[in-house]
Structure 1
Amino acid sequence: MRAAPASAARLLNTHVLRGTDRMIREQRFINDDWTFAYGEHPGAEGEPPSPDWYDVGLPHSFDLPDFREQRFYVGHGCYRRAVEVPPEWLGKWIALEFLGVFQIAEVYVNGRFVARHEGGYTPFTVDLSHVVNAGANDVFVRVDNIWNPRLAPRAGDFSFNGGIYRDVSLIVADKVRIDWYGIGVTTPQVDRERAEVNATVAIVNDEPHAVEVRVAGVIGDTSRPVARLEPVRRTVPAGATIEVELEGQIIQPRLWHPDHPHRYRLTASVTVDGQVRDTQATAFGARWYEFTADRGFFLNGERLDLHGANVHQNRGGWGDAGTRASIRRDVAMIKELGMNLIRGSHYPHHPYFAEECDRQGLLFWSELHFWGIGGEDVEGYWFASAYPIDEADEPEFEESLRRALREMIRTHRNHPSIITWSIGNEAFFSDDRVIGKAKALTTELVDLSHELDPTRPAAVGGAQRKGFDVLGDIAGYNGDGAELYLDPGIPSVVSEYHGVQGQGAGEYEVVWEHGVEVDYPWRSGKILWCAFHYKTIADGAGLQGLADYWRMPKRAYYWYREKLRGLAPPAFAEPGTAVALRLTSDAEMIPTDGTGDARLLVELVDEHGVRVVDDRAVRLTVVEGEGVFPSGRSITLSPENHSLRDGAGAMELRAYVPGTQRIRATADGLGAAELVLMAVGPRNEPRVRRLPPPAPSVTEPPTGQGEASLAAYRPVAVSSAEPLHGGGNATVTGSGAFWRAAGRDPGEWLAADLEFPYEISRVEVVFAEPPAHQWTVETSVDGRAFELLHRGEPETKARSASLQFPARTARRVRLSFPEKPIDVEEIRVY
């Protein structure tokens, strides 16, 4: 058992800045002491709190515990908490900061409506100054995660659980202050001798009269100042916000790099009549970089081959509602592999995620959620066209993405790890009728990102179809895009390539597809799909992680570590009979402010203390203290729900009340194992706590209603292809282009990857000319073992065939040519 890194600031649950004689600014987490109830509860915001509601802590998701079930609750949930306001706060700016609510939040204070925020992945603040009283104030938040045709994302390979699933803080500051995330730092000129530093500081004046302010800044390096920014004086009109520019330089800067991720700290202050009214600080790094079309990626003047992984935010047990400690562990696992890049797939992540990339030394691809999934293309659920098909939905949808891009850049702009703002992923999965509008919106968002942040390029992720790759500064090619776009003449990366699949430990060696093993000098790098298993609406998908949903590494994880770092794999567990349990934790202390947890690891071991593969379920129970698992005071890990594998399972424990936490692990036929941890934080008033039950009935997604081919614009694998006649031609609807094998020998083939398992009942094949040779159609669930579906004979007249058959599950549909290959214009699957 070892202690996780924890600073005093994390444990104290508050951050207070004081001047010589008064409090300047205070920010504290208020993740504890919330109550929650499923449903909309109309009018409840104006009624006294109900004793029947359940006690929860934040971050929280509607669907707890989360064992990666495909279905999830879609509807409303309501949160409530009392917020104490001391009399001396009245007259100041008082606000709530929400770092993420999926996906619509309505906020009431003391029964009065104060704000509505739409968008599930970006932070926002709610001004309470005009509605709070001294003493206890009732905060009520109504949340819904109902699919909305006018709100991005309209589609995506993910789960869309509702809830206040990121941190909430209370902020108190002066009426004359630095705005929320109001400091922007750039380093427009950097070399090894000098770094220019430009800071933009937004000053708010809520006073009823104009004020003259003096704005100054100091750059610090660890414990010492290294530069001062020349103070600037400005007059701020009443009720206005202005931006003040500060300039300075760092001599012989320590450059930020994944191998030495050094950061500086800029502290800005605003003074009126000699009195400091506010101060804020932000971390930043000095570095320069470039994506090139012919030589790859350069950081600080040196070529760096980017090799990374895509990361979704949800996790075993807690779903989307991860703590900062869990984020810290996720980033550390990617760093441990020897990778140097994370793609935040496919939405803005928690601001702390980028902070950890800064600190640990990983480059970060920050992405917007203009997102498509393809397939049936059904309105009413997240299988829809990425861009709206109803013209009436277009204005609000487009504005939701503009708003989210502004919020993402505002809250993430100072992170040195971030090297691009990506506009989305596979937005080409839009209905063909609106594809022009989807491309126009992509171009507009690229331009907006340049306007908001001229220092970073804009990427378009998943741009391997319909001409999206040329709309940004960097093209991200997913899947077969790696071989369809060789030396495309623009800066590019492989933004997704698939390596592993399955729930179990899997094979050790990874077999790459589409030629990604070749490191071309013009390609900036490649990004694995994906680091961790994730929950998704796509049945059978989400199982391509190097680690499972509970962050237990699969064998492929260690293959990557050996390949990239030269470290030999550990000894893998062998089948055996356990005689004992071993229970350990990555932390000895848990902060009670909702930012931390303890990751418990339970192992079934033999008489030598060696883990063995034993299929007994293990139950974890809090026998002392008020620690909670996502299911309450106990949780069962088992092979049946895939939370226990190869004789081990992991689960995160939280605590919102300080004190000793004693956890016991039990399994049939084995003695119990115990562990004692300490929850640390302010003492709350004791009370009986009611923990919520599992989520109510889930909403079934509409299926079997779409008219689109499941293979349309999907990746295609081929045995070979002539130039200009790649396999991708065969899944483009109505183009007239076709696939042609490079050779004319028997055994050539083409396979359409549906990307997710579907129940299919019809396949249509269109050849470039009537087939003169035998051909076969086969299907596969896993992409490896294929089952014959149809054997086609030579045809003298027809060049197309439509096959109807009893429904079968398939992920890949393959055309094979046992005699001689035939050119294929299109393959469609329904």
Structure 2
Amino acid sequence: MRAFRLLTAVLALTVLCAAAASARTKTSLNTGWKFHKGDPATASENNFSDTSWTTVNIPHTWNVNDPFDDEPGYYRGPGWYRRELIVDRTLVGKHLFLYFEGASQVADVYVNGQKAGSHIGGYSAFSFDITSLTKPGRNLIAVRVDNSFNEDIPPLTADFNFYGGIYRDVWLIATDKTHLSITDRASSGVTISTPYIQRGEGIVAIDGIVNADPSTPDITVLTSIFDASKRWVDTSTSRIGDDGRFVLNMGVRKPRLWSPDSPYLYSVKISVRSGSKIIDEIEQPLGFRWYNFDGEKGFSLNGKPLKLHGVNRHQDHAGLGNTVPDRLHVRDMEIIKDAGFNFVRLAHYPQDPSVLEACDRLGLLVWEETPIVNYITKSDAFADNSANMVRDMIRQHRNHPSVILWGYMNEIYLRVPKGRDDLYPATVELARRLNSIAKEEDPSRLTTIAFHGNDIYNKTGLGDIPDVIGWNLYQGWYSATVEDFGKFLDDQHKRFPKRPLIVSEYGANGDRRLHSTQPRRFDSTTEYQRYYHESYMAQMEARPYLSGSALWNEFDFGAELRGETIPHLNQKGMYTFDRKPKDIHFFYKAKLSKQGVLHIAVGDQLKRVGVPSAKETVDVYSNMSSVELFQNGKSLGKKTVDGGRKASWDVTWRSGANVLAARASNRRTPITDTALVTFAPVTAASNEIAINVGSNASFIDSDGRVWIADQPYSKGSWGYIGEKATRIYSQPPDRNILRTDSDPLFQTMVEGLTEYRFDVPDGEYEIELLFAETKNERAGMRVFDVLIGERIYLGSFDPVAMVGRDRPFRKMIRAESKGGLSIKFGSKIGEPILNGILVRRISRR
């Protein structure tokens, strides 16, 4: 037997090495496209002139900028792409396919003026056989892409941008006339699974389709398995049936298992032969693992308990929109893995092939889902498109061992239109259909849906359909308090103890420009973000029945409809949109990583102002047992790191540079982290005082100026005065202030003040008053005077009449201080407001 296997190995390797020129080729078509935003009537025809069009490369989107400007909405409509294709002598006689990895969201493809095909859905690949449409020499490819709203195409609405364009790679695939299927929903044409892994043996089940030309003689399929070092493991030869299918089982003795800690990958090479000649060949990943979800015990992998610690990830990037090159997709996955996470939810759609390949290689377990979000349309077309998206996703990605869950809906009751209660049973019916399709396409994996925190999913029966329930929970951000998070989970588990549960989303905003020693819900300070995540992590760790979690989100991402402190961004990321880490990232790294972690959590606020000798808490995240902190070379003491992977010190800031150094030991190897914090004391005698009026948070503007948190007036200092004076946050709290990048200065206010007083020294001052109406819709609802002494600087001031709602207005005033500065506010209609104030001394007396 051993001699036979060695002979088989030698023959297999000899045949595989002979593949060379006759196997398929894959050529990038990413360069040299002409693009036009619009819909010219004859753009598909060869004689159409595109000389005035813009030259672009793929990936491309027409929505890089417009979702992030202050104009409501962004372009959603058609755009055209055209490119020349040369069919040279090496391609003549080959079968030719156009392969698109993604175009959003409807694509119509033409070759030499004839339609090659159409595809619906912005997040899955598609391919067309163009052999009969091409000729030797010059050919013309034209593609119409349309990202318009369509009630029959999910997603209908969502908290992310629907970027339009050909935003993933485009390929020309050339094959022999007999080849593995490329048009089976743009899949590999081969399904690989591991139905049996026990007693030292792993069975590999392989099922594929060959498009066989009748003129091709003696067709066989040679299937070979190789280990991670590309050493041969096993080979089998198959004949195809009349329908082109081939089915076989192969075995691997003592297979190495795939897991997050050891993501061991085999590969399967499938070669189609005519006689002894290889005429087509592909390679697919293979990983041996098995897993289970249990309502009481949680998740297990390869027979061992494993808590899923994960993140959600959207596919866009600052300055790129969704046109992210493969290297940045891979880098995102590397960042996630490096932090110690073992799980990623690809929200809310199938993602680039490079993402799945990276997850296989790095050891990241994957929940992948289709973009059916917020609500459905009750139509056959919507249901059919949803079904096609599930089939596309599974066939294209089912060979990746990293994938463990297929999802097909997210928060599907969140935006059900008022008066459309008929959509609830229709959604349940659609979910049953999609769940059945997922099981039909891939019986080896489990299904899931993510719910938002509402019991309606249980009441309608939707919670009884998928194998695993995901809950998107934001107690302490969108509602209630952080302590209500654990209570919700316990209630669900008590009522449905057999349901496996994942916390599929949780998060809070973190704007690195905003900071507070008294953080509060909705303030977007990184301090509240850290408090929120520390609390949630502790509550999840205390609940062993939880299978795992996926925080929202690893990276900030584009969301045009959002206002918030940075409009058009969802800022719940551990990283900024341009991939800079926030301090909260290091909390998770300290909790999850096996590397030595030591991080002084001041990176989000390296520039500070405050009262002289201000004392503030400095936290250090670490997975060491103890840490010593130094300030300007002086030890502040050694502290034990708690179960939350944190140690804290009260630090008195010195004026100027504060060099912080943390030191710890990892198995006798010293680890250090340093940070430079600059501190400027501010008193009533300072040359400049900037106040973020109405806010609990300081704000760092684009000039580096720190606007400090507001306060009621106290003698010898500054602050607002008035019996009715009330701090007001914008209504709603995500109000976009137009024509400014300093939105936080205008999103909070003091309403009902009668005076704002500064006990500054005598002298001449420049005063800048900041206003924005975020509460009243119409002019005439708020009118007031602004005075210093007896002089009226703003008379009968109506912010809406002056500049409109949600728009900034700045008023510069020069005034003298005689025993202090007092800016007074006199009400005429409604209550006066003030959003910000900057006082700058020009001269002393």
TM-score by length of 2: 0.63
Q: Shift of the alpha carbon at 1:334?
A: 1.0
Structure 1 counterpart of 2:269, from 267, 270, 289: 267
Q: C-alpha deviations, 1:11-34, integer Å up to 9, x for none?
A: xxxxxx984674221002211111
Change (3 A) 1:470 1:462: same
Of structures 1 and 2, the larger Rg is shown by 2
The 3-state SS of whatever aligns with 1:346 is coil
Change (3 A) 1:558 1:134: same
Q: C-alpha deviations, 1:320-360, integer Å up to 9, x for none?
A: 11111111111111112111111011111112211111111
The 3-state SS of whatever aligns with 2:531 is coil
Q: Shift of the alpha carbon at 1:538?
A: 2.9
Is 1:216 equivalent to 2:222 in the alignment?
yes
Q: Which AA in structure 1 matches 2:589?
A: R
Is 1:466 equivalent to 2:475 in the alignment?
no
Equivalent runs, 1:482-631 vs 2, <5 Å: 482=489, 484-487=491-494, 488=496, 489-502=498-511, 504=513, 506-507=526-527, 509-512=530-533, 516-540=539-563, 542-565=570-593, 567-569=597-599, 572=603, 574-575=606-607
Q: C-alpha deviations, 1:63-122, integer Å up to 9, x for none?
A: 234784473211111111111111342332101110110001111111222111111000
The 3-state SS of whatever aligns with 1:154 is coil
Q: Contact 1:216–1:229 at 8 Å: present in 2 too?
A: yes
Question: 2: distance between equivalents of 1:550 and 1:361?
Answer: 24
Aligned residue in 2 for 1:184? 191
Question: 2: distance between equivalents of 1:462 and 1:67?
Answer: 27
Q: Which AA in structure 2 matches 1:213?
A: I
Aligned residue in 2 for 1:726? none
- Higher relative CO (CA 8 A, sep ≥ 6), structure 1 or 2? 1
Question: 2: distance between equivalents of 1:425 and 1:319?
Answer: 22
Q: Which AA in structure 1 matches 2:358?
A: E
Aligned residue in 1 for 2:302? 300
Is 1:129 equivalent to 2:124 in the alignment?
no
Aligned residue in 1 for 2:31? 32
Aligned residue in 2 for 1:442? 431
Aligned residue in 2 for 1:202? 209
Structure 1 counterpart of 2:279, from 266, 271, 277: 277
Question: 2: distance between equivalents of 1:301 and 1:367?
Answer: 26
Structure 2 counterpart of 1:99, from 101, 108, 116: 101
Q: Shift of the alpha carbon at 1:231?
A: 1.4
The 3-state SS of whatever aligns with 1:493 is strand
The 3-state SS of whatever aligns with 1:187 is strand
Question: 1: distance between equivalents of 2:597 and 2:252?
Answer: 38
Structure 1 counterpart of 2:240, from 234, 256, 262: 234
Q: Contact 1:68–1:534 at 8 Å: present in 2 too?
A: no
Question: 1: distance between equivalents of 2:370 and 2:466?
Answer: 13
Supply the RMSD in Å over aligned alpha carbons. 3.5
Question: 2: distance between equivalents of 1:517 and 1:90?
Answer: 61
Aligned residue in 2 for 1:173? 175
Is 1:193 equivalent to 2:195 in the alignment?
no
Identity over aligned pairs, percent: 30
Question: 2: distance between equivalents of 1:277 and 1:228?
Answer: 21
Q: Shift of the alpha carbon at 1:575?
A: 3.0
Aligned residue in 1 for 2:403? 418
Change (3 A) 1:88 1:247: same
Aligned residue in 1 for 2:412? 427
Question: 2: distance between equivalents of 1:37 and 1:461?
Answer: 38
Q: Contact 1:211–1:235 at 8 Å: present in 2 too?
A: no
Q: Shift of the alpha carbon at 1:226?
A: 4.0
Q: Shift of the alpha carbon at 1:454?
A: 0.5
Q: Which AA in structure 2 matches 1:185?
A: I
Equivalent runs, 1:295-444 vs 2, <5 Å: 295-372=297-374, 386-389=375-378, 394-429=379-414, 430=416, 431-444=420-433
Question: 2: distance between equivalents of 1:250 and 1:788?
Answer: 73
Question: 1: distance between equivalents of 2:107 and 2:733?
Answer: 32
Q: Which AA in structure 2 matches 1:564?
A: L
Q: Shift of the alpha carbon at 1:788?
A: 11
Aligned residue in 1 for 2:663? none
The 3-state SS of whatever aligns with 2:140 is strand
Is 1:477 equivalent to 2:471 in the alignment?
yes
Question: 1: distance between equivalents of 2:66 and 2:597?
Answer: 33
Worse overlay, 212-221 or 263-272: 212-221
Question: 2: distance between equivalents of 1:325 and 1:257?
Answer: 23
Q: Which AA in structure 1 matches 2:395?
A: R
Aligned residue in 1 for 2:80? 78
Question: 2: distance between equivalents of 1:55 and 1:192?
Answer: 59
Change (3 A) 1:484 1:80: farther
Question: 2: distance between equivalents of 1:117 and 1:353?
Answer: 22
Q: Which AA in structure 2 matches 1:227?
A: V
Hey, which of these two has a bigger chunk of helix by percent? 2
Q: Contact 1:154–1:371 at 8 Å: present in 2 too?
A: yes
Q: Shift of the alpha carbon at 1:273?
A: 3.0
Aligned residue in 1 for 2:53? 53
The 3-state SS of whatever aligns with 2:196 is coil
Q: Shift of the alpha carbon at 1:199?
A: 1.0
Worse overlay, 544-553 or 497-506: 497-506
Q: Shift of the alpha carbon at 1:208?
A: 4.7
Change (3 A) 1:575 1:503: closer
Change (3 A) 1:422 1:211: farther
Equivalent runs, 1:142-153 vs 2, <5 Å: 142-153=144-155
Q: Contact 1:538–1:756 at 8 Å: present in 2 too?
A: no
Change (3 A) 1:136 1:613: farther
The 3-state SS of whatever aligns with 1:569 is strand
Question: 2: distance between equivalents of 1:290 and 1:105?
Answer: 39
Q: Which AA in structure 2 matches 1:41?
A: P
Change (3 A) 1:226 1:345: same
Q: Shift of the alpha carbon at 1:755?
A: 10
Q: Contact 1:264–1:285 at 8 Å: present in 2 too?
A: yes
The 3-state SS of whatever aligns with 2:578 is coil
The 3-state SS of whatever aligns with 1:339 is coil
Worse overlay, 556-565 or 35-44: 556-565
Q: C-alpha deviations, 1:483-515, integer Å up to 9, x for none?
A: 552343211111111244335372273324678
Q: Contact 1:421–1:459 at 8 Å: present in 2 too?
A: yes
Q: Contact 2:66–2:74 at 8 Å: present in 1 too?
A: no
Equivalent runs, 1:237-252 vs 2, <5 Å: 241-252=243-254
The 3-state SS of whatever aligns with 1:333 is helix
The 3-state SS of whatever aligns with 1:402 is helix
Aligned residue in 2 for 1:12? none
Aligned residue in 2 for 1:798? none
Question: 1: distance between equivalents of 2:583 and 2:134?
Answer: 55
Q: Shift of the alpha carbon at 1:518?
A: 4.0
Change (3 A) 1:18 1:106: farther
Question: 1: distance between equivalents of 2:287 and 2:365?
Answer: 12
The 3-state SS of whatever aligns with 1:276 is strand
Q: Shift of the alpha carbon at 1:242?
A: 2.6
Question: 1: distance between equivalents of 2:332 and 2:732?
Answer: 25
Question: 2: distance between equivalents of 1:648 and 1:230?
Answer: 66
Change (3 A) 1:129 1:501: same
Q: Shift of the alpha carbon at 1:410?
A: 0.9
State how many pairs are aligned: 574
Structure 2 counterpart of 1:452, from 441, 463, 481: 441
Question: 1: distance between equivalents of 2:381 and 2:539?
Answer: 39
Q: Contact 2:78–2:145 at 8 Å: present in 1 too?
A: yes
Q: Shift of the alpha carbon at 1:564?
A: 2.1
Question: 2: distance between equivalents of 1:137 and 1:18?
Answer: 34
